[in-house]
């Protein structure tokens, strides 16, 4: 057994950057609590929005944030957070998938954590300082990120957790639910509400994951014409111009959802009959809540990033050389010379996508 003998062990779970990463890692966190309820679990996120989601969740005894991109010019803040982590005296840390960067491997050492669990990634072993970890688990390139994370928890516990049912976090509360009900009521007749998210994170060139906005517009028109759908464009305030571009390109009426917070967006998504998204945090939010969810994929790999839920579909246009970013090359975002990372997205027509979605919706 790999589990230390400490009766009140304190463990730090290190989560990658995005909301989608947090949702996909959450089942692994929950399994730690299920199998070792005696452990005090702390979360370390790399963005403040992770803290907002985790706040109030009984799973966590503490929530911390260390954003290396924001702290590049503030050494004192970085030192302060490291001191805070050292003061907690963690017994172990687990760096969840995908965390193939030197920051993930060095931080637990600086925090004085003696037992450090992480993945042995196929790339960047030396440059990522992977040698600093005391326990390593080989990446299974056939697994979805969710099950990679469950495998790391299993490695820590010394147990096979592959048959466990995923548990996801609560993404909204009563206040947000009431707001969403009132919002949908104000829309009027919406017997088939289609939510669409034309955005995604733009960090590190990840806006290359976006299906062209005019394709979303045409898909919305097809859904409105053939299913009587009411189209609702989702996304954050930083995507305002993108959402407006989709609505302005539609021939049928479309509405832009201006929500006060991500929790309100989550509640609104549950009122949708269908949600069509790029590979994004909103896609994972929708799928994990059981909403019929379609993910549109191009450079990223649906086998490791696709929507996970009772009703989930991933669509891509097959093309040689794609996907570009897979479980086998985590840590490398380089695009081959002469390759357009959005080529499969441009080639996937709205008509083809809608045909596949219609057939999927009509399945028993």
Segment 5-64, tens digit of pLDDT: 445 799 999 998 889 999 999 999 999 999 999 999 999 998 888 888 898 899 999 999
Q: Is the pLDDT of residue 288 over 60?
A: yes
241 and 357 share one domain: yes
112 and 49 share one domain: yes
209 and 343 share one domain: yes
- Helix (H), strand (E) counts: the chain: 13, 12
Q: Is the pLDDT of residue 228 over 70?
A: yes
- Position 200 in a domain: yes
137 and 179 share one domain: no
What pLDDT is stored for residue 7 in this prediction? Answer: 53
- Total domains in the chain come to 2
Scored b (16 or more CB within 10 A) or e, 212-247 reads bbebbbbbbbbbbeebebbbbbbbbeebeebbebbb
Question: Which token pair is 129?
Answer: 């300082």
What pLDDT is stored for residue 203 in this prediction? Answer: 80
pLDDT band at 68 (very low <50, low <70, confident <90, very high): low
Report pLDDT digits (tens) over 253-279. 999 999 999 999 999 999 999 999 999
CA-nearest of 1, 69, 24 to 309 is: 24
Averaged pLDDT for residues 283-288: 98
Q: Is the pLDDT of residue 1 over 60?
A: no
Report pLDDT digits (tens) over 127-164. 999 999 999 999 999 999 999 999 999 999 999 999 99
Apex CA 290: angle with CA 42 and CA 185, to 5°?
110
201 and 340 share one domain: yes
What pLDDT is stored for residue 347 in this prediction? Answer: 98
What pLDDT is stored for residue 72 in this prediction? Answer: 59
184 and 303 share one domain: yes
Distances (CA, A) of 346 to 222, 303, 318, 340, 343: 18, 20, 12, 10, 5
CB 48 within 8 A of CB 76: no
CA-nearest of 252, 235, 223 to 357 is: 223
90 and 230 share one domain: no
What pLDDT is stored for residue 78 in this prediction? Answer: 82
What pLDDT is stored for residue 144 in this prediction? Answer: 98
What pLDDT is stored for residue 76 in this prediction? Answer: 80
CB-based contacts of 124, cutoff 8 Å, min separation 6 = 100, 130, 331, 332
CB 97 within 8 A of CB 149: yes
- Position 302 in a domain: yes
- Position 133 in a domain: yes
Q: Is the pLDDT of residue 71 over 80?
A: no
194 and 269 share one domain: yes
Structural domain that includes position 134? 10-157
What pLDDT is stored for residue 235 in this prediction? Answer: 96
Q: Residues of the chain with pLDDT > 90: what percent? A: 82
260 and 348 share one domain: yes
Q: Is the pLDDT of residue 75 over 50?
A: yes
Q: Is the pLDDT of residue 123 over 50?
A: yes
DSSP state of 325: B
Question: Which token pair is 98?
Answer: 């995908």
Distances (CA, A) of 149 to 49, 58, 64, 154, 303: 20, 20, 20, 9, 14
Which three-class secondary structure string do you get for 103-154? HHHHHHHHCCCCEEEEEECCCCCCCCCHHHCCEEEECCCCCCHHHHHHHHHH
Residue 132: CATH number of its domain? 3.40.50.2000
> Mean pLDDT for the chain?
93
Q: Is the pLDDT of residue 351 over 60?
A: yes
- Position 134 in a domain: yes
Report pLDDT digits (tens) over 78-108. 888 899 999 999 999 999 999 999 989 999 9
109 and 225 share one domain: no
What pLDDT is stored for residue 73 in this prediction? Answer: 59
What pLDDT is stored for residue 4 in this prediction? Answer: 44
Determine the Cα–Cα distance for residues 104 and 118; give it in Å rounded to an integer. Answer: 9
290 SS3 class? coil
- Position 233 in a domain: yes
Domain boundary among 157, 192, 212: 157
71 and 123 share one domain: yes
Q: Give Dmax over CA atoms of the chain in angstroms.
A: 64
- Position 164 in a domain: no
What pLDDT is stored for residue 53 in this prediction? Answer: 84
- Position 2 in a domain: no
319 and 247 share one domain: yes
Averaged pLDDT for residues 336-354: 97
Which range (58-72, 115-129, 209-223, 293-307) has the least confidence?
58-72
- Position 260 in a domain: yes
What pLDDT is stored for residue 357 in this prediction? Answer: 98
Q: Is the pLDDT of residue 329 over 70?
A: yes
Q: Is the pLDDT of residue 322 over 80?
A: yes
């Amino acid at each position: 057994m790999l589990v230390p003998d400490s009766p009140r062990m304190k463990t730090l779970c290190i989560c990658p950057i995005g909301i989608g990463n947090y949702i996909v890692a959450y089942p692994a966190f929950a399994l730690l609590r299920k199998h070792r309820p005696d452990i005090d679990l702390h979360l370390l996120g790399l963005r403040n929005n992770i803290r907002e989601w985790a706040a109030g969740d009984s799973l966590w005894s503490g929530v911390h944030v260390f954003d290396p991109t924001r702290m590049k010019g503030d050494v004192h803040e970085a030192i302060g957070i490291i001191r805070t982590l050292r003061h907690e005296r963690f017994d172990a840390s687990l760096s969840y998938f995908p965390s193939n960067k030197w920051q993930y491997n060095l931080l637990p050492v600086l925090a004085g954590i003696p037992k450090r669990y992480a993945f042995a990634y196929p790339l960047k072993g030396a440059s990522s300082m992977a040698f600093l970890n005391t326990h390593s688990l080989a990446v299974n390139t056939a697994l979805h990120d969710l099950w990679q994370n469950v495998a790391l928890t299993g490695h820590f516990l010394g147990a096979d957790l592959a048959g466990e049912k995923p548990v996801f976090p609560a993404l909204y509360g009563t206040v947000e639910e009431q707001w969403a009900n009132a919002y949908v009521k104000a829309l009027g007749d919406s017997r088939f509400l289609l939510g669409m998210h034309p955005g995604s994170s733009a960090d590190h060139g990840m806006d290359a994951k976006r299906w062209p906005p005019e394709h979303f517009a045409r898909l919305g028109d097809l859904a409105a014409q053939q299913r009587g759908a009411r189209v609702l464009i989702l996304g954050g305030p930083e995507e305002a111009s993108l959402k407006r571009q989709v609505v302005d390109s539609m021939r049928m009426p479309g509405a832009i959802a201006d929500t006060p917070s991500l929790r309100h967006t989550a509640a609104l998504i549950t009122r949708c009959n269908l949600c069509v998204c790029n590979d994004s945090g909103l896609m994972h939010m929708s799928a994990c809540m059981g909403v019929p969810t379609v993910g549109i994929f191009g450079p990223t790999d649906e086998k490791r990033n696709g929507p996970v839920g009772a009703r989930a579909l991933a669509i891509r246009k097959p093309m040689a050389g794609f996907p570009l970013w897979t479980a086998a090359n985590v840590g490398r975002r380089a695009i081959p010379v002469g390759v357009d990372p959005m080529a499969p997205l441009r080639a996937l027509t709205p008509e083809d996508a809608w045909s596949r979605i219609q057939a999927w919706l009509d399945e028993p």
